[in-house]
Amino acid sequence: MGLISSFFTWWNGATWGTWIYTQLRGAKVGEDGWGNVYFEAKKRDSYGVRRRWVIYSGSNDASRVPPEWHSWLHGQAEDVPDRALPPARPWQKPPIPNLTGTHQAYRPPGALEAGGIRPASTGDYEAWSPDQA
């Protein structure tokens, strides 16, 4: 089912139609550390803007686009990040994708997935009851 599903399912990566469009009308401008490939249209549209897009290396998840490439995709930067931005500072952490729904997602204290034990109350909270006026 892998070959047939690649014709129709866009959430598992680029479809065949996207690849054909990219080969005919796009030019590769760069690649990020996660393997996502970025393209720009060879011709300008009627507004004088070149369309920009990304083909993800895995599932299509916009949180997997690093901030510097996000700004390029949305036209906030004219040149690709490799040439337009200064090198990363030593204190900067690499971006991480949205981990919601995975085992690595944040679990606050008291969450059922984290053991379900909440910290003791400090006594400054009084629960509301409908019998109280």
For the chain of 133 residues, list the mean pLDDT of each consecutive stretch of 10. Answer: 58 68 85 90 88 86 86 88 86 87 84 76 78 71
| pLDDT value, residue 1 | 46
Looking at this protein, which amino acid is placed at residue 31?
A: E
| pLDDT value, residue 31 | 92
Q: Which of 26, 76, 81 shows the shortest CA–CA distance to 50?
A: 26
Backbone angles phi, psi at 26, to 5 degrees: -115, 160
CA atoms of 77 and 105, how far apart (whole Å): 31
| pLDDT value, residue 29 | 92
| pLDDT value, residue 8 | 60
CA atoms of 12 and 31, how far apart (whole Å): 19
| pLDDT value, residue 40 | 92
In sequence order, which residues have a C-beta less than 8 Å from that of residue 33 and are 6 or more positions away? 66, 94
| pLDDT value, residue 133 | 60
CA atoms of 28 and 22, how far apart (whole Å): 9
- Quick count: other Cβ atoms within 10 Å of Cβ 99? 11
| pLDDT value, residue 94 | 85
